[in-house]
Amino acid sequence: MAGIVIVGAGECGTRAAFALREAGHDGPITLIGDEPHLPYERPPLSKAALGGDTVVPKLIADEARLQESGIEHRRGVRVTGIDRTERRLSTDSGALSYDKLLLATGSTPRRLTQDGAELLHIAYLRTLADAAALQPRLRPGARIVIIGAGFIGLELAAAASGRGCRVTVIEMLPRILARLVPAEIAAVIAARHAVAGVEILTGVTIARLETGPAAARITLGDGRQLDADLLVAGIGALPATGLAVAAGLAIDNGIAVDAELRTADAHILAAGDCCSFPLALYGGRRVRLEAWRSAQELGNLAARNLLGGAEPHAAVPWFWSDQYDLGLQIAGLPDEGRETVRRNLGDGAFLIFHLANGRLVAASGIGPGTTIGRDIRLAEMLIARHAHPDPADLTSPGVKLKSLLAA
């Protein structure tokens, strides 16, 4: 019996494997990962994992749990091709047949290029090996230059400054976190980095990069030069679609699947960072979600639909980032909104609500620790219900969000 094969042993693929068992599936499950490690969490790699003397992974599942669940985990195996007619995978360690296949191949860092070629001696942060290579270079006094002021770049900046590094972040856009986070929240984060001694340069271009194994020089568009002991790129991620492309599956900002995560091949589903799908919550807009919770949700959904379900994805997208003592959370897609209102929560915490034609489509919040968590969760529930709250109620701390749910 060929069974169900999952390519990708990250958050999404591993969650799908366990969800299959939780749903009562008793057939063979094979989980294939190209890294030599047990499945581990990626979010801590840019946060807590860099804070100690060694990088210790937070495991999703250990060997005992995988064995107890009857999940065959093949580590360090690279899948090289999919034969859709024979329903067979080729790998660098032999062939493997499948009844159903889930592609959870994730994403890879976007690479820096110059003069048409990929630059060498640039650090990236995606895998446990990346973090292990970075960690010993984050020593007190080290000059660290990070290109890209997205979540990964800024989380790494916070971790590096906490280890006594001299950190500079370069961002070509006019402000940090411009693609997802409201300007008011971005300003709070930028100010906190400034307090920590991180220099953030926004609205700048790079004219030239000179990189070596132990040092780099960055020449900016205005002629300024920065010298670095370590140059790190955090300029986004690309979906890992190579297998799907070679197999003739459709691609649209990732492996194109329907709302049930199915490809055009009835035997192949895709889930996680590698796929894009229509989200009914936003009128069928095709989205690709790079988020920890989305990976879990999509893994669970893929498992149910692999077993014959016909359930569309309906969860509200949710993102988070921890930097220093600040917690940032976002529910929904802020760029769907046309109007914003602010709700102050005290102690410097606040929410920004995003509305479109009166409907609440997203909420963004920031505050010390987890102070905004409960309010974001209530906002998420309102978003899921397509609520049209009175903006004055959203603004007023005297009106409880829970009361808006009841209404």
- The fold of 111-233 is FAD/NAD(P)-binding domain (3.50.50)
The per-residue pLDDT for 210 is 96
The per-residue pLDDT for 48 is 74
For the chain, give the mean pLDDT. Answer: 96
CATH annotation of 325-406: 3.30.390.30
Sequence spans of domains, the chain: 4-108+238-306, 111-233, 325-406
Comparison of pLDDT for 268 and 48, the residue scoring more: 268
The Cα–Cα gap between 167 and 142 comes to 8
In which band, very low, low, confident or very high, does the pLDDT at 52 lie, cut at 50, 70 and 90? confident
**What is the pLDDT averaged over residues 273-280?**
97
The per-residue pLDDT for 312 is 97
The Cα–Cα gap between 200 and 204 comes to 10
284 — phi, psi (to 5°)? 80, 15
> Are β-strands 275-279 and 255-256 bridged in parallel, bridged antiparallel, or unpaired?
parallel
Helix axes 292-306 and 11-22, enclosed angle (nearest 10):
40
The per-residue pLDDT for 51 is 75
In which band, very low, low, confident or very high, does the pLDDT at 54 lie, cut at 50, 70 and 90? confident
The Cα–Cα gap between 390 and 359 comes to 9
In which band, very low, low, confident or very high, does the pLDDT at 47 lie, cut at 50, 70 and 90? confident
**What is the pLDDT averaged over residues 95-115?**
96
Q: Is 379 a residue whose pLDDT tops 80?
A: yes
Q: List % helix, strand, coil for the chain (3-state, nearest 5).
A: 30, 30, 40
The per-residue pLDDT for 56 is 87
Could you tell me what percent of the chain has a pLDDT over 90?
95
Helix axes 151-162 and 183-195, enclosed angle (nearest 10):
20
Which of 114-118, 166-170, 171-175 shows the lowest mean pLDDT across its residues?
114-118
In which band, very low, low, confident or very high, does the pLDDT at 179 lie, cut at 50, 70 and 90? confident
CB 398 within 8 A of CB 368: no
The Cα–Cα gap between 73 and 367 comes to 40
Could you tell me what percent of the chain has a pLDDT over 70?
100
C-alpha count within 13 angstroms, C-beta hemisphere, residue 22: 12
By CB atoms closer than 10 A (0-12, 13-18, 19+), residue 224 is exposed
The per-residue pLDDT for 1 is 64
DSSP string covering 374-390: HHHHHHHHHHHTT----
Please write the tens of the pLDDT for every residue from 219-239: 999 999 999 999 999 999 999
Please list the alpha-helical segments (H only) found in 178-290.
183-195, 242-246
Q: Tell the residue number behind the tokens 């692999």, with chain if given.
A: 306
The Cα–Cα gap between 32 and 26 comes to 18
Q: Tell the residue number behind the tokens 């919040």, with chain if given.
A: 365
Asked if domains 4-108+238-306 and 111-233 share a fold, the reply is: yes
The per-residue pLDDT for 339 is 96
Does domain 4-108+238-306 match CATH 1.10.1740.10?
no
Residue 306 has which token pair? 């692999």
Please list the alpha-helical segments (H only) found in 61-125.
63-68
**What is the pLDDT averaged over residues 338-365?**
97
Longest CA–CA span in the chain (Å) reads 64
**What is the pLDDT averaged over residues 363-392?**
97
CA angle 151, 156, 160 (to 5 degrees): 155
Residues 6+ positions from 272 with CB-CB distance below 8 Å: 8, 10, 11, 12, 13, 104, 105, 106, 294, 295, 298, 299
Please write the tens of the pLDDT for every residue from 308-323: 999 999 999 999 999 9
